[in-house]
Amino acid sequence: MFYYAANYIFDGKRFLKNAFVSLDENGFVNYLSEEGEALQEKSGMSFYNGILAPGFVNAHCHLELSGFQKEYGAKPGLTNFVRSVLKNRSSNTNDNQIKLADRKMYERGISLVGDISNTSLTIETKLQSKIHYKTFVEISGLVPSDAEIRYNQGKAIKQTFLERDLSAEISLHSLYSVSAELIGKFNANSKSISTSLHFLESSEETEMYFQNKGRLFDFLSANFADFKPICNNSECLSKILESLNADKLILVHNVQLDKPFDSDKYFYCLCPRSNKQLHDELPSHSFVEQIKDSFVIGTDSLASNNYLSIIDELKYLESTYHFLSLKDLLKSATYNGANALDELNMFGSLEPGKKPGLILIENADLKELKLGEEASSRRIV
């Protein structure tokens, strides 16, 4: 048995001061103490200056885009970014880049990832990784007559993951990139416990839906004859979301969302550094305050972010949304993320029988319980 103590332990939901956690030789949590128990001498106990926490959960990532850094200028906007990815997807990423991104995420304390895949390119890395991946095989298509073909392509990719004993679900890319017929195929064939959807990522998307104009509208109209947005009002978007056949729906980005929907089905994933770099837009303070107890956090991809680092996302949120407490931030990156991905059986909290990993947050302000600019994270177990 191994014993780990720190100034604070965050167990996934709360802080414990001067506590310790014990893990067995396989990394499973055996015991979490009460506050103050680490002050009693115990043979073999390792004490760390900082905050011990369960491994981070990256609820939204695109590992297969790991070779796309610096493919566009600063703040290109959603449409230019989509155009760049579509143009370069097949040639940019190799297995070494994927493996490097995976290794760095693990070293920085990420234990669980909700990863978007359009191909089977990441399978070998995921088989060898120390991170547990939940892969969302992403499908899209605006041509109604192609809906069955598009769905079956996604189904075949999903099967390649399942045949290697890797967790995988089918997900829709976004409501602006799928036809009603493809949504119908998804609902008829894809009962999911958890799935993911890019949602209201930028003002270009809302312009397209509600005003039939803007760069995204022009791009889609130029590439698809008789293009018409699937919705032209918020009520329509809400009805389609509610119809999607999944118990848990992770809505990713939410930059243009004013308030959460009245349902426990939804988990709101924030990817602030990616949003800032791509669009120079962020979710409103009012919206984030409404979801502060339940949001989850993602890094997005190296195509839209300099690093796949949860601690950097949390620091950015803390400096932008001053009402977020350290408890709010760490809960989003541990318990909430594991809940959204339906992986609470092993991840998200330091509870006996779980194997979430153990990380150390260093150089934080322990007096005020703030991350500050200098905070960093590293893996202990």
> Model confidence over 86-126: pLDDT tens digits?
776 656 667 899 999 999 999 999 999 999 999 999 999 99
Q: Which residues contact 126 (CB under 8 A, 6 or more apart)?
A: 102, 115, 133, 135, 161, 166
Looking only at the bridges linking them, the beta strands covering 15-23 and 56-61 are unpaired
Is CATH 1.10.150.120 the classification given to domain 56-347?
no
The pLDDT, as a whole number, for residue 33 is 97
Phi, psi of 376 (to 5 degrees): -140, 165
How far apart are alpha carbons 230 and 79 in whole angstroms? Answer: 17
The pLDDT, as a whole number, for residue 71 is 57
Residues lower than pLDDT 70 in the chain: 69-74, 88-93
Residue 19 is classified by DSSP as: E
| E-assigned strand segments in 24-176 | 29-32, 45-54, 56-61, 110-117, 132-139, 168-172
The pLDDT, as a whole number, for residue 68 is 77
How far apart are alpha carbons 144 and 153 in whole angstroms? Answer: 15
Bridge-partner residues for 268, per DSSP?
Answer: 251
Bridge-partner residues for 134, per DSSP?
Answer: 114
The pLDDT, as a whole number, for residue 190 is 76
Q: Exposed, middle or buried: residue 187 (CB in 10 Å: 0-12, 13-18, 19+)?
A: middle
Q: What is the pTM of this model?
A: 0.97
Q: Count the helix, strand and coil residues of the chain and give each as a percent rounded to the nearest 5.
A: 35, 25, 40
- Residue ranges covered by each domain of the chain: 2-53+366-379, 56-347
Q: Do 336 and 264 form a contact (C-beta atoms < 8 A)?
A: no
